[in-house]
């Protein structure tokens, strides 16, 4: 299973607008991805309810993971987005 550990770059964490942006991006990468707080239970990264339930704050570490084909490229793109607090998914 491929995984990336990243620190959340959005000051407000994965709440409201950043969560919405991230959920759309996770759905767009085309592979199933999970997200978890370090040491926590993973949730579907494309689920707004799951993501909000994490309560992930800015500066906290999260783990993105997937075991699908193409996972490395998808996780790299999502990790960059989370780490830099971007408003859109970076180009492949």
CA-CA distance, 53 to 25, in Å (whole number)?
18
Give residues with Cβ within 8 angstroms of 83, minimum separation 6.
6, 7, 8, 9
**Active-site entry in 2, 3, 9, 15:** 15
Is 15 a residue of the active site?
Answer: yes
Which residue numbers are catalytic?
15
């Amino acid at each position: 299973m491929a995984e990336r550990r990243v620190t959340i770059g959005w000051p407000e964490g994965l709440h409201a607008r950043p969560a919405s942006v991230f959920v759309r991006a996770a759905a767009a990468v085309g592979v199933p991805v999970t997200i978890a707080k370090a040491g926590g239970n993973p949730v579907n990264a494309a689920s707004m309810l799951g993501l909000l339930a994490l309560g992930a704050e800015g500066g906290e570490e999260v783990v993105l993971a997937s075991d699908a084909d193409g996972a490395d490229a998808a996780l790299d793109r999502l990790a960059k987005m989370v780490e830099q607090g971007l408003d859109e998914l970076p180009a492949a």
